Structure 1
């Protein structure tokens, strides 16, 4: 899938997020990278066999304080090449883009891995 097509599928996934959640997302950038970079190295050290499809970098909403105002945007990274490698079928790739995006947005709202696993977003 070309980068342009991948970006279009990410936009489609964003459009399917309920409006009230979209409205609550403030100061968040969604970036597409080919592969995980330095921003994810620490996470990957814990499990070098783990394949990352996405990564949330920031301060989750429930943990923010008044001191956090004026900070740089939180970032949600989506990693195109690992997603394509593990989901070569177009339909499954599109579905996994959406699952990964929702997973990372949930971290922004303060959901941890345990809660996400309960709802099938692990």
Structure 2
């Protein structure tokens, strides 16, 4: 992917990321604390991921957390773009789903619990 196409894709991703964050209730948006969201091309070698939360979930933060570097949410553009297979609507749905999934981890919600919630 050339630099221009990557910039265009990243712009679209950030637009969808903003839409996903803005779709959250005000109290949840206000509770998101010390998090950086990045769009990266690919996950770390050998990992099949669409996104990744790295940090200390809110429920586990103590007073010792003060002054910590921001938590990091990585959204991996390559795998999501391949999954969408040229379908713009699916791309937007997948980015939104991954962003909300990783934000849920920030709030301390496990993958297992997210799977349970998705069944309802």
TM-score range with shorter-chain normalisation?
A: 0.7 to 0.9
Which residue of the partner structure matches residue 61 of structure 2?
A: 64
Aligned twin of 1:47: none
Unpaired segments ≥5 residues, structure 1? 45-50
2:27 maps to: 20
Give TM-score, length-normalised by structure 1. Answer: 0.83
The alignment's C-alpha RMSD in Å is: 1.7
Q: Which runs of 4+ in 1 moved over 3 A?
A: none
Deviation (angstroms), 1:2: 2.4
Q: Give the unaligned 5+ runs of structure 2.
A: 1-7
Deviation of 1:16 after TM superposition, in Å, equals: 1.2
1:92 matched to 2:90: yes
Does the alignment pair 1:33 with 2:40? yes
2:9 is matched with 2
TM-score (norm 2): 0.84
User: In the alignment, what sits opposite 2:102?
Assistant: 104
Give the aligned length.
111
